[in-house]
Each structure stands twice: as C-alpha cells, then as structure tokens.
Chains A and B, each alone.
Chain A
Amino acid sequence: MYSEKVMDHFMNPRNQGEIENPDGVGEVGNPKCGDIMKIFLKVKDDRIEDVKFQTFGCGAAVASSSMATDLIKGKTLQEAWDLSNKAVAEALGGLPPVKMHCSVLAEEGIHKAINDYRIRKGLEPWKEKPGAAHAHGDETCEA
C-alpha cells in the first residue's frame, strides 16, 4: 500500500531525533488519534540550519516527518512555511488517501515550530492561510 519512497523514509528516517536547545519547537497531533509529531528547529540568519523530528505514528506519519524535514533543511523560514502537505506527499511518491492527514500533520508541525521561533524572537506569528487543511478536521477522531 506504500510507495518505495515511503518505505525508504520509514525504514531509514532522515533527521530523526531531538535538538538540544532548539530555536523553535512544534508539536501537533494527539495520542488519541494515534499520531504525534514534534519538530525541532535550529535557525541561523533566517535559515533552517538544522531540523529534527520525533514521531509517534504509522509508517506514513514517520515517512512524512522524514521527508518534510529533509525538504526544509537549509531553506529560509518563508520557504519552509510555504511547503505544502501536497508537496510532501508528492515527494514521497504519493500517500494512500486515508494517510494524507499524515502529510498535513507534517505541514502543521513545521508551521507550529516556525511560529514558536517567531514568538521567541518577539515577532508576530504568521497566520495560516484561510481554508488550510487540518489533520483531524473532518475525520472521526476528535483531536
């Protein structure tokens, strides 16, 4: 049911772990729904110098965390903010429809970590685009 890319990122996750003294942290999801993603950022000169993740979740959740963190590493915060869940899913060679919310979770986790960084810096948090997807919006598990 998973693409080779998904399996590769699940079996050999990139950027898995924790950053000591991170500049921004974002935790999304909830144990009730069976997936939690935590993103740690190290930021230098408005760029993501390092990024790590911890994930409790299924194969797609782990692969999405791995791919999403890989895609934003070295990027500016604005570029990282603009990474969409669809781009993560595409980079993974597609996700089964029921697993698309895992890629949404990755996007949300990155947004939360970036805004955590901005708040720590005394900056206004960026606003989600109206109508942005939510991982657990219209599904049975109520976050």
Chain B
Amino acid sequence: MMSGDGTSMTGRRLVYLDHAATTPTAPEVVKAMLPYFSERFGNPSSIYGIARESRDAIDRAREQVARAINASPEEIFVTSGGTEADNWAIKGAAYANRAKGNHIVTSAIEHHAVLHTCQYLETQGFRMTYLPVDEYGRVDPGALEETLTDQTILVSIMAANNEIGTLEPIAECAGVCRDRGVRFHTDAVQAIGSVPVDVEALGVDMLSLSAHKFYGPKGVGALYVRKGVRLDNLLHGGGQERRRRAGTENLAGIVGMGAAIERAVERREEYARRMAALRDRLYSGIAERIEHVRLNGHPTERLPGNLNCAFEFIEGESMLLLLDAAGICASSGSACTSGSLDPSHVLLAIGLAHENAHGSLRLTLGESNTDGDVDYVLETLPPIVERLRTMSPLYANYRRSCNVQ
C-alpha cells in the first residue's frame, strides 16, 4: 500500500493515521516469517526433523513474547489474536471459578471483545458490574474495590483504551484484586510497544496481546496466564499449547509475533518519545487552527500515538470520507462508522453529548509518520471541518445564537 516516502501505489499522497486499528507488518518481521510458509512448514506436533524445527521456532517465539512482558515461556499461550485472548481469559476464568462465585467486574470503556463476552456471560447466570470512568476515561481503583463482593471471581480492566488512548491504573487495580483474592485480567492490546508492560510490576494474572498492533502479522496474539491461575479451555481438540488451546499452530504468524514483539520492546522508548512529539504538535496545530474542538481522553496519561478530538457541529463519517479523498486514513467514534445509530460507548462513558460523540476523530500515529504528515493534516483538516460546518444546520443555529447575543 505505502512506499517509504508516504505515497500509495497510485502515486497519490497517503497518510496512514489509523495505527490503533492495525499496523503494517514490518519488513524484517515478514522476512522472519517467510521460511515458515513453504520451506519449514512441518506440523509442530509431528515427530520428524522438519516438525522439530517448527517446534523450536515456536519455542523461540514464546520466549521472545515472555521476555518482552517479563513472564516465563510456560505462561504464554498463543491465540488467534486479542479477541480470542479476551474471550478465553474471561470465559475461561468465569467457568473455572463458578463454584466460588458468579460476579465479574469490568469497565464501561472496554473493547467489544471484552464487553460482548461479558454480556454473553450475563445470559449464562453470571452477574456483571460495569465500572464507570471519569471524564478522562480513568477507572478509580477505590471505586473498583467497593464493587468487590465475596462472589467476585474476576476483574478485567484494559491497560490502554483503543479509542481515546487513556492509560488505566492497572497496577493499583490489580493490587486491589490480589488483596481480595480476585483474579485480574488486562487487555493490553494497545499498550504493547507504546508503554512499559511488565506482568510482575503490574501484578496481573492474565494479559491479552495482539501481534498486528505492534507491526506483527494479523491473526495471531497471546494470552499470558500466571502460573497457578485456573482457566477452562475455550477451544477443545488436539493437545497443542500444552493441552490448553487446541488447533495446529499458526507457525509463520507465531514466528512473526515473536520477532515483532522483540523489535517493539527494543524500540519502545524512542518510539514513544517520537510519537508523543508528533501527537502533541498535531493537537496544538489543530487547536490553533480550528475552533470548538475538545480533546477526548486524558491530557497526559495517554498512549503516545493517540489523538482523539471532537469537532462540534459536524459528523465524523463525513469527515472521514473527505479525509480519505485527501489520502488521510483516520477513524471516528461516530455511529455511522459502527453500523448502528449510537455513537461510541467510550465517548458516551466519558460524558460527551451524543452530538459531540458523533463528531469525533481519532488519529493514531505510527512508525511511518513524519513531521511532513502532521503538516499535511494541519493543512487539509481545517478546510474539511469548515466545509462540513458550512453545511451543518447545527452550526447555522450556533452562529445565529451568537449574532442574537
């Protein structure tokens, strides 16, 4: 899609600002994966030489993942991605602890992979608490503690929010749960490679991650499960993943995940510094050039590459279509991008009025982005917002009310 100088294959300028949705697989990661498609293709469960090579490759990748988050390799279980990891952690812990209780706590701003799993468990006799968040999207560990009862078996709070980028106080939340003997899971899909993730420092029992969010391939992820944590299986079948997750391994994908996470953790500090600088310049430029904008999420406790703002009086999908026409890839919490009439649950949870939630824009930066990209957005976005406001009856009403005053 993109060449190194930020143009598409058609030669048109292309600025990709949707890295929270997915990242391109890094060339060195692809290179590490390639031999495992057609040359070293052996089924790791078989007994002969090329099978052993596959097994070794998986072991190495498991070690790379473990080292990246300060876990041991036996605590890393490969999945098909973040969604499966979240489903497994929550359903697995719920069913394994059914005799102890039926209460599960999560936050109102989790990814749908967590929220919809929890909603499903409600139909199976589990009781849920959805913790509210403050105006910045932060969970209050004190409020979490108050929701815990002797029936609580699991708490799941994300490490970093995918829409507004807010970082959650995971170590504090996990500490509260450990003191009460409640299992704690975190969806760290957005956090890996951007903020430090150390399962010991955080004190979590389970953690989900997904390779394509850190320049690895799609379709592969992992669930970290602390030694001694009981979990029912999600997938039943063969004896792969030490009998915890059946199915022939996604060999090349797993190799790619290992290479990608090692690379991401090595580069993390420099990456985070660079992303934060670009993001801050982007936001201050937008705020200087466009009126009636608000920043969504926490001003400082947020992912370095995440910018989310709401533009009053206009609707997000229209903004995305015009940005796309100018070669800028972005996303929005607008209802129209979700296939329903309701805007993003995250934006509503931080207290945005519906009409402002509809007008939100998420720009998520990544490795390929440059100062030139920021300049291009700052040049392109203001006329787009202006054009949509000129079309908007809400803006006309606002202007009229200003004139009356």
Contacts and interface: CB of A to CB of B under 8 A. Distances in A.
Contacts of B355: 31-32, 34, 56
B321 A136 contact: no
Interface in B309-342: 313-318, 321-322, 325, 334-336, 339-342
Interface stretch (A11-19, A73-81, A83-91): A11-19
If over half of B's interface residues share one DSSP class (helix, strand or loop), that class is named, otherwise mixed; here it is: helix
A136 B314 CA distance: 19
A18 B399 CA distance: 13
A58 B318 contact: yes
A132 interface: no
Given A34-B355, A57-B315, A58-B336, A10 B321 contact: yes
Nearest to A99: B336
Given A10-B318, A34-B315, A54 B392 contact: yes
Contacts of B392: 36, 54-56
Contacts of A4: none
B396 A18 contact: yes
A123 interface: no
17 contacts: A32-B355, A34-B343, A36-B394, A37-B393, A38-B396, A55-B392, A56-B315, A56-B393, A57-B315, A57-B336, A58-B316, A59-B317, A61-B315, A98-B340, A139-B341, A141-B341, A141-B342
B325 to A, nearest CB: 7
A27 B392 CA distance: 12
A62 interface: yes
B341 A34 contact: yes
A136 B340 CA distance: 11
B339 A98 contact: yes
Contacts of A16: 391
Interface of A: 7, 10-11, 13, 16, 18, 27, 31-38, 54-62, 98-99, 101, 136, 139-141
Contact of A58 (B315, B353, B391): B315
Interface of B: 313-318, 321-322, 325, 334-336, 339-343, 353-355, 358, 391-396
Given A35-B315, A140-B340, A141-B341, A54 B358 contact: no
B358 A31 contact: yes
B397 to A, nearest CB: 9
Contacts of A58: 315-318, 334, 336
B342 A62 contact: no
B334 A34 contact: yes
Contacts of B395: 56
B341 A136 contact: yes
Contacts of B322: 11
Closest 8 CB pairs of A and B: A141-B341, A31-B355, A58-B336, A34-B358, A58-B317, A32-B354, A54-B393, A38-B393
A101 B343 CA distance: 16
B341 A33 contact: yes
A13 B388 CA distance: 11
A55 B358 contact: no
Contact of A33 (B317, B335, B393): B335
Contact of A13 (B317, B391, B393): B391
A72 B394 CA distance: 24
A37 B392 CA distance: 8
Given A13-B391, A31-B394, A140-B340, A62 B335 contact: no
B258 to A, nearest CB: 36
Nearest to A16: B391
B318 A59 contact: yes
Given A10-B321, A58-B334, A59-B318, A36 B393 contact: yes
B342 A140 contact: yes
Contacts of A54: 391-393, 396
A46 B375 CA distance: 52
B391 A62 contact: yes
Nearest to B335: A34
Nearest to B392: A56
Of the candidates B317, B325, B393, the one having the most CB atoms from chain A within 10 angstroms of its own CB is: B393
B391 A55 contact: yes
A13 B391 CA distance: 10
Nearest to A98: B339
B341 A140 contact: yes
Given A31-B394, A37-B393, 4 more contacts: A10-B321, A56-B391, A57-B315, A101-B341
Contacts of B339: 98
A143 to B, nearest CB: 9
Nearest to A56: B392
Nearest to B336: A58
A57 B318 contact: yes
Contacts of A101: 341
Contacts of A32: 354-355
